[in-house]
Copies of this chain bind each other. A is one copy, B any other.
C-alpha cells in the first residue's frame, strides 16, 4: 500500500485529514487512485495509519484514518551516513538503498582528496533531488520517517556533528586484519542513541583525514576483508547494524 508522510501532528483514529498538495498530486496523478482506495499516512511523531480516500475535489484529497498501523521498521538507534562526494549517480544510489535499509540522515561532504566536486551553486538542486529520492524510498519501504539529506563543505564540518558513537570505515584498518571494532562499537550503543558513520569518496580517505576524525572521537573500523566500492560500504554497514541490533 502506498505510504505518505505528513508534516502535521498526529490526528485521532477515525478523523478525516486533508493531504498536503505533494501527496495529493501523487495520489491523483501518479497512482490514479479514486474514492474508496486505501493508502497509509504517517504523521510527525512516526505514527502510521491506514486511511481510506473519502473525497477527491480538484487537487484536494481527503482521507479518513481507519486503522492504526503498528510497525517496527526503524533501527533502534538513529544512523547518520556520511559520505565523501563521488562521481556519477552514486550519491543517489546511496540515498535510495540506504533509506530502504534504515538510515536516518545522509551527509555528503567534499573530501580534500576526492576526485569529484559538487559545484557550490548546484548544491541546493542536488540536495533537493537527493531529498526527493529519500522521500520516494521511504514511501516504498514503509519507513516511519524520511531521512534528511545535508551537504557539508568539508570534513572539518563533519567532525562537529553531534553523536553518541562515531566510526569511520577505513580500508587500511581492514587490510591490517581489524575485525573487532565495528561489532564492539555498535554493540555497546543503547536504544535511541545516535551513530555517525563516515565513508570516504572513491579512492578512500587520506591518512590525514582519518587522523582528523580520530581526534574527533571517530573510531576506525574494518568492514570485512573485501575491497568495497564507495557506494557499497554504507550498505554493508546498514545490514551489519540490522544483524547486530535486530537479529539473533
Chain A residues with CB under 8 Å of chain B are 71-73, 97, 100-102, 140-143, 179-180, 182-183, 222-229, 232, 235-237, 239-240, 242-244, 246-248
Instruction: Known pairs A141-B227, A240-B242; list 7 more (Cβ under 8 Å).
Output: A102-B226, A141-B229, A142-B226, A143-B226, A179-B246, A225-B246, A243-B244
* Whole-angstrom CA separation of A213 from B228 in the bound complex: 32
Q: Are A73 and B183 in contact (CB under 8 A)?
A: no
Would you call A247 and B226 a contact (CB within 8 A)?
no
Query: Max chain B CB contacts within 10 Å: which of A140, A222, A229, A242?
Result: A242
Q: Across the interface, which residues of B come within 8 angstroms of A141, CB to CB?
A: 226-229
Cβ contact within 8 Å between A180 and B224: no
Is the beta-carbon distance between B239 and A235 smaller than 8 angstroms? yes
B100, A183: Cβ atoms closer than 8 Å: no
Q: Please provide the 8 A-B residue pairs with the shortest distance between their CB atoms, ordered closest to farther.
A: A239-B239, A224-B242, A236-B239, A183-B248, A240-B243, A179-B247, A141-B227, A243-B243
In the assembled complex, the CB of A198 is this many whole angstroms from the nearest CB of chain B, namely 18
Chain B residue nearest in CB terms to A226: B73
Nearest Cβ on chain B to A202's Cβ, whole angstroms:
11
Q: A235's closest neighbor in chain B, by CB?
A: B235
Write 16 A-B pairs (CB below 8 A) sorted by A numbering: A71-B225, A73-B226, A100-B227, A101-B226, A102-B224, A142-B227, A182-B243, A183-B243, A183-B247, A224-B243, A226-B242, A235-B235, A237-B239, A240-B242, A240-B243, A240-B247
